[in-house]
Amino acid sequence: MRVGRIGYINCYPIYGAIDRGLIPLAAEVVTGTPAELNDLLAAGALEVSVVSAVEYARRARDYVLLPDLAISCDGPVRSVTLFSHRPVAELDGRTVLLTASSRTAAALVELLCRERWHVAPRFAEARAEASDLGALRQLPHDAVLVIGDAALLLAAQGGYAHRYDLGEEWRSWTGLPFVFAVWAARRDADRRAASTAHRALVASRDWGLAHLDLLAEAAAAVTGVSLAACRRYFAGLDYALSAKHLAGLTHFFTRLAARGLVPDGSLQFLHVA
C-alpha cells in the first residue's frame, strides 16, 4: 500500500502521529504537491492519497472517498490566497497567474472571478514554483494565486496592495465551508488495506488535533512562518468531512458541472467496518 501526503504544513495534523511513530501505518508514504499526488493516484502509483477536491470530481468513477477526512475551512483558510496589485473589480482583462500545484484552488479562483467578482482576467500558469517567491515576483502579472506554505510567507512579507483569501471569499459568497482536498482510494485498491490506512489516518488526525501547539512549533521551525501565524493557521483548518462540508463540496461541484468543468455525479465513499 502506497499512501500520498502533501508536503505542506497543512498535512501536519493528519500525519503528525504517523510521522512520530505513535500511530502505525502499514504503507509507504509518498510526499508531493497536490497536483503531483493527483497524477500519481491517477496513474496507479498510489492506492490511497489526499487529492484536490476537483481531481476527485473529475475521476469519481475511478475513486472512492475516505469518510470523515478532508482539508477544509469555514472562513479564512490563509494558505490559498489571491495576491493582487489592484482590486479584483479592476482585474478584467488583466494577467492573473495560477499555480500549477493545486487544481482546486485554480478552479475556485476562476469561478470567483466569473460568478462572484464578474471579471474576466487573462489567466496564465505561473512559470515558477509557488515556493520560489523571488522568481514569482519577477513574472509580469497583476495578480497571482499562491497556495500552501508559500502563501503564508508571502502574506507576512507583503508587497501586494490587495489580498483575497479564497476560503473567506467562498464563505461570504455561499455561506458554506469550502473543501480544498479529500482523501481517496482507487476503486481497484485492496479494500481491506485501504480501510486499515483510513483508520490510521483518522487516529493520527485525532492525535494531531489534540497537539496543535506542538505541531505549530514544528511548522514554524520548518517554514520560517511565525509561531503565532502557524497556530492561527491550524486553528482555522478543519479536517473532517461532515454533512456541512459535504454540502459545500457538492455546491462547488454543482457550479463546476454547470460550466462543464467536471462530470455531474454523486459522492461515493469507501465502506469501512
**Residue 192: CATH number of its domain:** 3.40.190.10
pLDDT value of position 93 = 97
Task: Categorize the per-residue pLDDT at 31 as very low, low, confident or very high, splitting at 50, 70 and 90.
Answer: very high
Given a cut of 60, whether residue 130 has pLDDT beyond it is no
pLDDT value of position 112 = 98
Average pLDDT over residues 239-261: 95
Residues 123, 251, single domain; the answer is no
Residue 93: C-alpha distances to residues 107, 112, 245 (Å): 18, 15, 33
pLDDT value of position 101 = 78
Given a cut of 90, whether residue 265 has pLDDT beyond it is no
Given a cut of 60, whether residue 95 has pLDDT beyond it is yes
Given a cut of 60, whether residue 241 has pLDDT beyond it is yes
Residues 85, 154, single domain; the answer is yes
> What is the rounded average pLDDT for all residues in the chain?
94
Residues 86, 165, single domain; the answer is yes
Specify the 3-state DSSP secondary structure of 80: strand
Backbone phi and psi for residue 261, each to the nearest 5 degrees, phi listed first: -90, -25
**Integer Cα distance of 156 and 151 in angstroms:** 9
**Integer Cα distance of 115 and 255 in angstroms:** 10
Residues 107, 53, single domain; the answer is no
Q: Domain total for the chain?
A: 2
Given a cut of 70, whether residue 122 has pLDDT beyond it is yes
9-18, 60-69, 136-145, 185-194: range with lowest mean pLDDT: 136-145
Specify the 3-state DSSP secondary structure of 192: helix
pLDDT digits (tens, 9 = 90+) for 168-224: 999 999 999 999 999 999 999 999 999 999 999 999 999 999 999 999 999 999 999
DSSP strand pairing (122-125 vs 95-98)? parallel
Residues 59, 193, single domain; the answer is yes
Identify whether 271 is part of a domain: no
pLDDT value of position 266 = 79
Q: Name the domain boundary from 151, 174, 197.
A: 174
3-state helix, strand, coil in the chain (%, to 5): 45, 20, 30
Residues 23, 146, single domain; the answer is no
Given a cut of 60, whether residue 273 has pLDDT beyond it is no
pLDDT value of position 233 = 98
Residues 130, 245, single domain; the answer is no
Identify whether 267 is part of a domain: no
Identify whether 231 is part of a domain: no
The dihedral sign for the CA sequence 77, 33, 267, 114: positive
Is 203 exposed, middle or buried (CB count within 10 Å of its CB: 0-12, 13-18, 19+)? middle
Given a cut of 90, whether residue 256 has pLDDT beyond it is yes
Single-letter code of the amino acid located at 262: V
- Which residues neighbour 131 within 8 Å (Cβ) at sequence distance 6 or greater? 148, 149, 150
Given a cut of 70, whether residue 141 has pLDDT beyond it is yes
Identify whether 269 is part of a domain: no
pLDDT value of position 133 = 77
46 is in which domain, residue-wise?
Answer: 2-71+178-223+238-258
Q: Which residue has the higher pLDDT, 196 or 127?
A: 196
Single-letter code of the amino acid located at 179: V
